[in-house]
A = this chain, B = another copy of it.
Amino acid sequence: MVGGGNDAFIGAVHRIAARLDDRYELVAGALSSTPEKARASGAALGLPEDRTYDDFKQMAIREARLKNGIEAVAIVTPNHVHYAAAREFLRRGIHVICDKPLTSTMSDARKMFKAAEDSEALFILTHNYTGYPMVRQAREMVANGELGTIRVVQVEYPQDWLTKHEDFKQAAWRTDPERSGAGGSTGDIGTHAHNLACFVTGLTVESLAADLQAFVSGRQLDDNAHVMLRFKGGARGMLWSSQVAPGNENALRIRVYGENGGLEWAQENPNHLWHAPFGEPKRLITRNGAGAGHAAARMSRVPPGHPEGYLEGFANIYSEAAEAITAHRTGQKPASDVTYPTIHDGLRGMQFVDACVRSSSRNAAWVKLPE
């Protein structure tokens, strides 16, 4: 692991997620940007001293030479370090599991894309929400044509934690353009909403119009964003991301409407999926319950009615990656239903943020996204 030292929230989440299905073992780390903290964090996690590194480059070099060196690395640093770190591992054939968003700048994103393409190693991006069983279920239903042609997508990710002036670490780097990149709410959570909309519908955004705001005075990055979407093929959508909407914790929600029906899913109640076939009563499909199919079932560890959590969704991504890594080890392809966010998804996320910022700077003009 790179990053994820003592007081980092997301590092701990990654470690739990990795452990859940017993497919990973944590054996080495460069856990902080300061050597002292890196060593203290390594000791706290029980890493051997000689595999607790002061920096990620040193780690990549030595682990690549070890007989039993690491097979994969999780990169959970702030966004602006993602690329530099990932590059060192990718060029040495070590698989990279990287936190989202991909990088903090478009320039880095492109370099990351190239580095991943040039490497034999795999690159996995942790858009964890796509690991939820009922998100898989929704995606399967759309793909099976149960809604008919998709017309409208409503997706939103409101939070409230930046309603006031921030004065704590989590907020500090997320509102700092140097470390987060150009997007505030759009980068941190809008990317999730966007990724989810595309993942569920199988559509790609063709163009968008965005209106971004920084409501808290002095804030440099957007803390609220209104976006209208046009998908390839004619579907339309709206996307709202906000960090200043009191009463919302992580209220990621998606609604998809086609010519024959609608779907609705909300992250805070992740085991439920509403399906409204046109002209029939709405149905509540539950994880592993009646009406749920294969795509959800293979992501589930517990029976219906036992709420599976965020960590399990996260772990699913890791396990999908494990499937891919295992197959890769023997030169085989993973099974056809193995799915995880790729470098392409990461790039699209960056393009999305970039387009948001550009559109907004031009008074919400339509901006096309790259093909």
Contact = CB atoms under 8 A, between A and B. Distances in A.
A38 interface: no
Interface string A261-294: 1101001111100111111111111100111000
Contacts of A20: 16, 19-20, 311
Contact of A13 (B154, B301, B304): B301
A211 B209 contact: yes
A277 B230 CA distance: 35
Contacts of A211: 209, 228, 230, 236
Contacts of A213: 151, 236
A255 B163 CA distance: 16
Instruction: Quickly give the copy total for this chain.
Output: 4
Contact of A242 (B152, B271, B285, B286): B152
A224 interface: yes
A49 interface: no
Interface of A: 9, 12-13, 15-16, 19-22, 147, 151-152, 154, 156, 159-160, 163-164, 209, 211, 213, 215, 224, 226, 228, 230, 236-238, 240, 242, 244-251, 255, 257-262, 264, 267-271, 274-286, 289-291, 301-312, 363-366
Given A211-B228, A309-B310, 11 more contacts: A9-B303, A211-B236, A226-B236, A244-B259, A245-B255, A246-B278, A247-B274, A281-B283, A307-B310, A309-B309, A311-B312
Contact of A305 (B164, B238, B251, B290): B251
Nearest to A227: B228
A270 B310 CA distance: 13
Contacts of A260: 246
A246 B308 contact: no
B268 A305 contact: yes
Given A236-B213, A257-B244, A268 B271 contact: yes
A141 to B, nearest CB: 12
B238 A240 contact: yes
A275 B283 CA distance: 9
A264 to B, nearest CB: 7
Contacts of A267: 305-307
Nearest to A229: B226
Contact of A209 (B228, B230, B280): B228
6 contacts: A19-B22, A152-B245, A215-B259, A245-B255, A249-B286, A267-B305
The interface centre, meaning the residue of A224, A245, A271, A279 with most chain B CB atoms within 10 A of its CB, is A245
A242 B269 contact: no
Contacts of A163: 259, 278
A269 B307 contact: yes
A302 B311 contact: yes
A262 to B, nearest CB: 4
Contacts of A224: 151-152, 236
A195 B147 CA distance: 32
Contacts of A230: 211
A301 B305 contact: no
